[in-house]
A and B are shown apart, each in its own frame.
Chain A
């Protein structure tokens, strides 16, 4: 029907009501289709996020504190991806994952530095960034003493990650603020 051409007895109101229902029908139809597709898409995305992981354990024991002398101990790097460090006040555990892009830095005993082979980040024994592109300081893992056998228990997935401060020496974190429970053992 051409616009403006009306049948006898059909009021403007009726036309607009028909138009209204047509629009409603179209809206419900298309809207329903878009919603259904969106739901399938969201379901597909959720499907891709696994709910069960088969990954190595993140809580493990590393022996008693008297196994670790002053300085950086690298013997657990291969097995557990950690360095155990003892200073004058106690023990902390650095996670041996570069904060830049996840490579494993190497310990240089002569320079007292950790240096990353991927993009050249450099850390000191406290985990502060003294060179290279790393944007944050090394993680420290949560540690505690098992009351039964006296071994150090490391919780690899609970990590200390304070905001560092840019200084002339590099990216620094006030050391005493890091030496707090559960990331430090006064032993």
Chain B
């Protein structure tokens, strides 16, 4: 049986189709192992060789990679959730109920999305702590640390915009509190220091722009939906690309 499978595979590898997809032989020789890193777009994130120290799990704890994994899981589960979700204050909550009661595996996708979000916040925080403790932000990697801090901030904003969407009590009040904080921004908020003096009112300040109104209602839900599902993930992906690129360009700081 196994022999047959091997036979089929070896024949398949000689076909034009197979060769058009994989531009190298099976990665069992060093040259093919190098070629696989060259020709595969995802593996291309890596160099062909790394220093032995880079394999030490106790140095990185895989935290950056895990953060990226959780981001991928969030993107996948998020796309699935979007198939059953309408950003309408009259329908959003019942969509959530449907996911939990009548849609097969609806609960699972919600739970995966939620746990991945928790895990991503945790691992991005831990990753930052690790990078600090190993001094990996020191020259020439200063800028990549800055990109990392931006990614940390976007991660938190993504979490915050995400929990308005179920339109339950936590959603409403967490965002009400957040919007009030925005309203209290110095200079830019109608309730903040020197805001009123600069002509800020509740219908032109930063909270109004954020909510698209004066209360957390339909326009706020739509804005948060667009930010959460489209705008912020795109920005995150862009910064992740820069982050990875700079790791390759600046080199790995680990021990020899």
Interface residues of A (CB under 8 A from B): 45, 48-50, 53-56, 100-103, 118
Contact = CB atoms under 8 A, between A and B. Distances in A.
Contacts of B219: 50, 53-54
Contact of B176 (A49, A50, A102): A102
B176 A103 contact: yes
Contact of B180 (A53, A56, A101): A101
Interface of B: 173, 176-177, 179-181, 204, 208-209, 212-215, 217-219
B208 A118 contact: no
Contact of A49 (B173, B177, B208): B208
Nearest to B178: A101
B218 A103 contact: no
Given A55-B215, A100-B180, 5 more contacts: A49-B208, A55-B214, A101-B180, A103-B173, A103-B176
Contacts of A118: 173, 177
B87 to A, nearest CB: 15
A101 B176 contact: yes
A101 B217 contact: no
A159 to B, nearest CB: 10
B208 A103 contact: no
A100 B176 CA distance: 11
A144 B25 CA distance: 86
A103 B179 CA distance: 11
Please indicate which of the listed interface residues A53, A56, A100, A102 has the most CB atoms of chain B within 10 Å of its own CB.
A102
Contact of A53 (B173, B176, B204, B214): B214
B118 to A, nearest CB: 22
Contacts of B215: 55-56
Contacts of B177: 101-103, 118
Contacts of B214: 53, 55
A100 B180 CA distance: 8
A54 B180 contact: no
Nearest to A118: B177
Nearest to B218: A54
B235 to A, nearest CB: 15
Contact of B213 (A45, A55, A101, A103): A55
Contacts of B217: 54-55
Contacts of A53: 213-214, 219
B188 to A, nearest CB: 12
A87 to B, nearest CB: 28
Nearest to A54: B218
B55 to A, nearest CB: 47
Contacts of A100: 180
B174 to A, nearest CB: 10
Contacts of B204: 49
Contacts of A55: 213-215, 217
Contacts of B173: 103, 118
B209 A102 contact: no
A56 B214 CA distance: 10
Contacts of B218: 54
A49 B207 CA distance: 10
The 8 closest A-B pairs by CB, nearest first: A102-B180, A101-B180, A101-B177, A102-B176, A48-B209, A50-B212, A53-B213, A49-B209
